[in-house]
Amino acid sequence: DLHSFPTRRSSDLEPGDNAILVGSIKDPITGNFSYGGRLLKNKYNISSTVILPNNSSPQLCDLGNGNLMLIPAVVVDKIGILSDRYTHGLADIEYTTKAKKARIPSYISSRYLGECKNDFDPNKKTGLSLKQRIEYLYSVKGFSYKEYLHFIRSYFPFYLPQAWLSLWVKTIIPSR
């Protein structure tokens, strides 16, 4: 897949060359998807579906994980680098969302390019006390409450009340 993306200097790029490539990553034990790209279900909230590599060609995505991401210099020249507003898990998602808003497409690789276990476990909070679940809500390795709501407020403002409520319900009433 990487051969189909430009290797020229940004000054030599054509209009269609300013795209982000998100490397699809699988779990080293199960072989299942762990990181890569997602398609938004609609433009009003963050609800999305995973895009699996098809072994033939890159596919357009709306959201991309930065575990393995190729960003051409022309894209950086246009929208900058990752925001330092996010400390762990949202900078990459925010970057591809910002790129989409700037009409810069993102694509997933046509096959898995790496292996990595997904480190986010939404069920990790089961069995914890309410105090521990609230700590997890605010933790950058948990729900990253303030950063997540900032991201939602910036890109999906109509979803903000539902996102806020959902985080608190998941914290107060953990799933079994």
Burial of residue 94, with CB atoms counted within 10 A of its CB: 0-12 exposed, 13-18 middle, 19 or more buried: buried
* CA gap 17, 71 in Å, rounded: 11
pTM: 0.84
Distance CA 82, CA 74 (A): 14
pLDDT digits 0-9 by tens, 72-98:
999 999 999 999 999 888 999 999 999
For 19-68, the pLDDT digits (tens) are 999 999 999 999 999 999 999 999 899 999 999 999 999 999 999 999 99
